[in-house]
Structure 1
Amino acid sequence: MTTQPSKTPAISPPVISERTGAICTAEIISVLKGDITALHIKEGFNIEVANQITANFMRNPGLKERSDGVPGQYVGSSHYRRDAAAYFAESESTRASVAALFGTLVDPVRGLFEALKRDLHTQGVKLRLARSAHGQANICRALSWSGAGPYALEAHDDVAQVLCAGRDYELAEVARKNTVVALNFYASMPEQGGNLRIWSHKPTTADRKSQGVETTGYPYPISYLEAVPYHDFNLKAGDIALIDGGFIHAVTRQSARGKRRLLLNCFLGFAAPDLVLWWT
């Protein structure tokens, strides 16, 4: 006899922290270690920088429509549904486009990366970009989701895509043993909607199989989550959010007119006790 996965999702209440002001590296490390599930820093980086990044995104020659079944526009590279050779090749070919998002601005993502790198070093931990024989990851990517249904980005988790990325990816070790952290800098937000919703459920491999999302983690049926509590982060331009990407999350429907929802995104996690990897 085989054991069937439960049809009722197990509830795992997230540990949520929200405050205003500059982000600190100790908080990031707390998310990496699983002590905090979701962190929302309001006014985490300069709004004028956010506005200029948005303008640079709109006129960026590397701006593309996603063609992997997830509706949206992007600048940069994504490991989602790509083998290592394709991902790192795209990372190398889009490096100039990612740099053009910032131009002469002080890059808030790289600034955070360098600060975290210094503080982890004092703890005997190395932080670096993921790499392979095919190249090296970019520091971030820019994303603007455009789903037209109840969610601009449907419910998903970030672990399945890392677990199933393939043997050529060193980042697979992160998902097998530790927390896959999604880090978002919000450069622009619509007047209504576009909130980050996180459900109190961290699916297992059996859960993913039961919902037909074992290799991608996307999208979970809304019916699967009906009885699961959730928390919405009401975001504004200049905010920063970090979440345990193992929890199911989504982006709520957004107003079709006015400002678009634009974020700078990357992932990070412990690949070994003395190594944290960073990728997109």
Structure 2
Amino acid sequence: METNQVSQTPAISPLVIRERTGSISAAEVISVLKGEITALHIKQAFSTEIADEITANFIRSPGLKERNDGVPGQYVGASHYRNDAATYFAEAETARPDVDALFGNLVDPVRGLFDALKRQLHKQGIELRLARSDSGQANICRAVSWSGGGTYVLQPHDDVAQVLCAENDYELPAVAQNTVAALNFYPSMPEEGGNLRLWSHKPTVNDRKSQGVETTGYPYSAAYLETVPYRDIQLRAGDIGLIDGGFVHGVTGQSSNGRRRLVLNSFFGFARPDLVLWWT
């Protein structure tokens, strides 16, 4: 079947980006969940000692694998992307010891934020929990080191399509009607590049159809995004980034020598007014 990749000029949506140094707060996370801000960049949010130890644990992890889903990279953990629910949750259960081992005896910064957010939401009568099924439940995060070459190590994409088009045996599709938040902790960053690029465009279902990315949201072409303004968020080890994953975003090319770019990634969002789901 031939795909029509001709589209009207992408609609521009303003970016509201907040950047500061220090620890992240649950209130700021909720602001992204509610669509009040597009992106949050917290610099020096966790220590370099923790960052270095997580990176070392990732490199020597027995659970380290190459991605085989068309998005080049190495990972520890499980991804719902292009997986049915039974496969994803089974992989999450199998990978759980390897994900836990990334933190060893460290204070886990991802779990720390999850617990703080859970307490804050509970005060508002909202439950936060890991997504689950009869096959198991999601992990708190996955660790990924993207390895694409050229202009982007991770091509421009959105995170909503893969959630919206998840099969009915997932709990996730309801989240796509709200903000799909993408949370990234950065234990390691290259000396040059590897920045988060965020375009002022939040694609619709029709936009995705026109680009042939209806079920994956990946990748958007340079030609499609040519007229769309963007912002680059300059990242360093120890930073946290949180974005509205409905906006097109990608990772810029990086230096091939020295430190790798490593991210601890999770997704979460409202499935109902009283329920926030968290998964990878």
Please indicate the TM-score interval, normalised by the length of the shorter structure: over 0.9
How far apart are 1:14 and its partner, in Å? 1.2
Give deviations 1:88-137, integer Å, cap 9, x for gaps.
00000000000110010100000100010011000000000000111100
In the superposition, the TM-score normalised over structure 2's length comes to 0.97
Is 1:96 equivalent to 2:119 in the alignment?
Answer: no
Asked whether the equivalents of residues 184 and 240 of structure 1 are also in contact (C-alpha less than 8 Å), the reply is: yes
Structural mapping, 1:155-166, within 5 Å = 155-166=156-167
- For residue 213 of structure 2, what is the amino acid of its counterpart? V
CA distance in 2, matches of 1:5, 1:25: 41
Asked whether the equivalents of residues 131 and 278 of structure 2 are also in contact (C-alpha less than 8 Å), the reply is: yes
Asked whether the equivalents of residues 7 and 211 of structure 2 are also in contact (C-alpha less than 8 Å), the reply is: no
CA distance in 1, matches of 2:192, 2:271: 38
Q: Which residue of 2 aligns with 1:146?
A: 147
Q: Which residue of 1 aligns with 2:206?
A: 206
SS in 1 for 2:269: strand
- RMSD of aligned alpha carbons: 1.0
Is 1:192 equivalent to 2:192 in the alignment?
Answer: yes
How far apart are 1:45 and its partner, in Å? 1.0
- For residue 224 of structure 1, what is the amino acid of its counterpart? Y
Asked whether the equivalents of residues 52 and 187 of structure 2 are also in contact (C-alpha less than 8 Å), the reply is: yes
Q: Which residue of 2 aligns with 1:54?
A: 55
Asked whether the equivalents of residues 190 and 254 of structure 1 are also in contact (C-alpha less than 8 Å), the reply is: yes
Is 1:70 equivalent to 2:71 in the alignment?
Answer: yes
Q: Which residue of 1 aligns with 2:260?
A: 260
CA distance in 1, matches of 2:181, 2:47: 23
Q: Which runs of 4+ in 1 moved over 4 A?
A: none
CA distance in 1, matches of 2:57, 2:270: 32
How far apart are 1:5 and its partner, in Å? 8.0
Give deviations 1:126-184, integer Å, cap 9, x for gaps.
00000011110000000000001210000000000001111001011000x20000000
Structural mapping, 1:75-154, within 5 Å = 75-154=76-155
Q: Which residue of 2 aligns with 1:231?
A: 231
CA distance in 2, matches of 1:119, 1:227: 40
CA distance in 2, matches of 1:191, 1:49: 19
CA distance in 2, matches of 1:169, 1:34: 24
Unaligned stretches of 5+ in structure 1?
none
**Matched residue pairs, number?**
276
- For residue 69 of structure 1, what is the amino acid of its counterpart? G
- For residue 223 of structure 1, what is the amino acid of its counterpart? A
